Structure 1
Amino acid sequence: MDLEHVARFVAAPELIALDDLTMPDRRQLPERRLHALAGDRAWRVSEVLKRWNHFGRPIMSDIYTTITASLADVALLKSRGEWFLLYRMTVADGDDMYYLGGRPVTENDDVPAVWHHFPASLARFYTHLHNGWYYIAGKTVGPLPLREMFRIDAFEWGILDGLSPDEYPDSSRCVATFRSGGGGYLCLHIDRENVRGVWSSDEPPYFVDYSTYLDIWTNVGLGA
């Protein structure tokens, strides 16, 4: 793990060995995460991929395939009191890319209103795998942590000038859950119990299949 590189994007990162965890530390971490890290590199990779198979593949099948082929190592990382899994991915051109996966959501966590509208497979990802999983540069090309999500009506878009409201989704109902790093946002459009995907970029937002776009654009980040 190249911690010097990681430190360019992650505040005060520390790689923590299991033997160095205090009892209060251990109480903050899921038992399944401690189990996954209690072995050599091959064990860690294998155990993390098992979790992805159960809780990542159902909503991001292509990215699961890509991760299976490119995951080189996983380690426990601490940044300003928060715990993460640090993923080192060796991509097709031989370069390493680093991703962070946040601690899964628990019943004791404060969650934003959008959480209660998540599609079931997305909610399982957040509760059993990661509260956010993203490329370390700008928290991009992956599902955002809950606290980083925002309504896209915070933007002022000249691209909507001249369009009638029925020509695009209501931006006040669109919560960005993913950012591409190049101005694209994948959103959940929440209209009472009706929840749909929306893609927003440098053109008027439009409805999409949420899981398909999440899978495609996350894969784009890994060069697949």
Structure 2
Amino acid sequence: MENKIQFLSKYRKNMSIVNIANMHEDAISNEWYDILKESDRSLRIKNTIEHWNSISSKELRNTISYLTQNLVDVELINYDDTYSILYTVTVGDGEIDYFEGKMPIRSVNNTELNKFWMNTPISIKNFYEKLHNGFYYFPSRAMGLIPIENITFFGNDEWGIIEELDLPLDINLDSTFGFFSTGMGGYVALDYNNCSNDNATIWFVDDQPQYNANFWDIVDEWIVIGFE
């Protein structure tokens, strides 16, 4: 336990693993409280997988399949007065990595995105409002879905790649948000002018964008790539 905390504390100040018996159940969502109050680790894992399946079984089937086979533990952590779920996952050649899923959102703490949130595809809203406010590799906060408060508003950035595009830009920057980040300049983005049926754009800071991609197909694939 101590070695784990020492490692995790390199990336989050004042981080602690929380004993749920010592906290008020209203501090986290009811669903996660019911999962985490179970002392048997195998049951916590089983209930976690069932929770993912109840919300995103179709959208994140490969992610859930990987977690089903490789999830070692789920624990509640706290830092900066916020709670998250810490996922301990076996990756690659048997190494252990850590992933974070913040508590589901109760409101949209993002000024620009708040204007559009009601038009978000229901599958994406369900993930953020019922499962996690983002899910990503713990050390880098990347290779995953970004917390609402950190989602990239394309209208705030100057994208040098636009000058190098082979074809005219096919998204409106002022209505586009990057929900998934690779941490290396790749995004899965939604343009709210064209996001029905989970339509998304794969955006790169140094390559041609790919339009009309399915949001969840790419997110699911890239999360698993991050595991491996």
Q: TM-score, normalised to structure 2's length? A: 0.87
Q: Compared with structure 1, are the counterparts of its residues 206 and 154 closer, same or farther at alpha carbon in structure 2 (3 Å cutoff)?
A: farther
SS at match of 1:200: strand
The percent identity for this pair of structures is 23
User: What whole-Å deviation, never above 9, does each CA across 1:36-74 have from its counterpart, x for those lacking one?
Assistant: 112221111111111011113222111111111110001
Q: Compared with structure 1, are the counterparts of its residues 48 and 193 closer, same or farther at alpha carbon in structure 2 (3 Å cutoff)?
A: closer
User: What whole-Å deviation, never above 9, does each CA across 1:70-96 have from its counterpart, x for those lacking one?
Assistant: 100011101111011111001131111
Q: Which residue of 2 aligns with 1:54?
A: 54
SS at match of 1:166: coil
Q: Compared with structure 1, are the counterparts of its residues 94 and 214 closer, same or farther at alpha carbon in structure 2 (3 Å cutoff)?
A: same
CA contact (8 A) 1:44 1:74 kept: yes
Q: Which residue of 2 aligns with 1:139?
A: 141
Please point out which of 185, 204, 208 is paired with 2:208. Answer: 204
Q: Which residue of 2 aligns with 1:217?
A: 222
Are 2:31 and 1:27 equivalent residues in the alignment? no
User: What whole-Å deviation, never above 9, does each CA across 1:113-159 have from its counterpart, x for those lacking one?
Assistant: 34223211111111211111111122111111100112224333333
Q: TM-score, normalised to structure 1's length? A: 0.89
Gaps of 5+ in 2: none
Higher mean C-alpha displacement, 35-44 vs 74-83: 35-44
CA contact (8 A) 1:131 1:145 kept: yes
SS at match of 2:132: coil
Q: Take 2:195 and 2:143, find their aligned partners in 1: how far apart are those partners?
A: 27
Structure 2 letter corresponding to 1:93: D
Q: CA deviation at 1:27?
A: 1.5
RMSD after superposition = 2.1
Structure 1 letter corresponding to 2:74: V
SS at match of 1:67: helix
Count of residue correspondences: 219
CA contact (8 A) 1:55 1:128 kept: yes
Q: Which residue of 1 aligns with 2:77?
A: 77
CA contact (8 A) 1:174 1:198 kept: no
Q: Compared with structure 1, are the counterparts of its residues 159 and 80 closer, same or farther at alpha carbon in structure 2 (3 Å cutoff)?
A: closer
Q: Which residue of 1 aligns with 2:125?
A: 123
Q: Which residue of 2 aligns with 1:181?
A: 183
CA contact (8 A) 1:186 1:214 kept: yes
Q: Compared with structure 1, are the counterparts of its residues 162 and 14 closer, same or farther at alpha carbon in structure 2 (3 Å cutoff)?
A: closer
Structure 1 letter corresponding to 2:5: L
